Amino acid sequence: MTRGIIVSAATAVSIAVAGLAVSAQLPPNPRAAELQQWAIHDLTRPMPPVVDPGPAGPPAPVPSDATVLFDGRDLSAWTTAKGQPVTWPVRDGYMEVVKGAGAIQTKAAFGDCQLHVEWASPAPAVGASQDRGNSGVFLMNTYEVQILDSYESATYADGMAASIYGQFPPLVNASRRPGEWQSYDIVFRAPRFAADGTVTAPARMTVFHNGILVHDNDQLTGPTAHKARPPYKAHADRLPIGLQDHAHPVRFRNIWVRDLQ
């Protein structure tokens, strides 16, 4: 009799958990304590230690199975959000953000992928905090790895260079000086959604900044946003990769992607 009561209680708990939909089955976030401890864009959240990545080199070699998104010569792989030709100028092997021209995105769509991006913030540096060499790489046009001039320049930790914006600062600050070429190598795993739209696996990112590990399979809480951590909203399996116009003339070169799906 006693045993029967225990089984019934367990069943009730199981039904209650099922009521939370598939999200109840998500693995715990290893950095959940940080998310609890720090408010979004909390200025008291510690900045990570500085690591000198060494000098910038020439553009990284392109793997034979990669899709080249930008080779320094043309923007044929890119479009605006409205499907118009990109007006960012291309010269001397790089493209440059034009204030007000708007974000750009790849014509092709990607889900799981390995993405290589090289960028440089303006030199001499202008502005401070978020108003200093700001752009961003958006996986699936939704999940931002922040681009910012964070060389001897403070801002909120979850918005510095190589942060997963509004969620996770990088493990270290591997920034080079403004004007020097920097690289991101991003291994992105797209979130998975059930047929009813609930998330069954969160998006995950491993990121190297100038060759240095800054995110080790971090689980995103949902889309990145300013002053918000919105929940996941079901989307397509593949979406474009975006580059942000944050009104600063950030430069890009040598962008390629390897499809991991």
**Positions that interact with Mg ion (CB under 5 A):** 134, 136, 146, 244, 246
Nearest approach in angstroms of CB 134 to Mg ion is: 5
Strand duo 242-243 + 67-70: pairing: unpaired
How near is the Cβ of 221 to Mg ion at its closest, in Å?
Answer: 18
Q: How far is the CB of 144 from Mg ion (least distance, A)?
A: 6
CA distances from 147 to 20, 26, 172, 174, 199 (A): 36, 29, 15, 12, 27
Nearer to Mg ion among residue 144 and residue 193 (C-beta): 144
Output the six-digit token pair for 179. 């004007």
Q: Which is nearer to Mg ion, 246 or 251 (CB)?
A: 246
- Answer whether 189's CB lies under 8 Å from 252's CB: no
> What's the min distance (Å) between Cβ of 69 and Mg ion?
18
Residues ≥6 apart with Cβ < 8 Å to 86: 75, 78, 79, 80, 95, 101, 104
Q: Is 118 exposed, middle or buried (0-12, 13-18, 19+ CB in 10 A)?
A: buried
Q: Which is nearer to Mg ion, 153 or 244 (CB)?
A: 244
Give 134 or 182: the residue with its C-beta nearer to Mg ion. Answer: 134
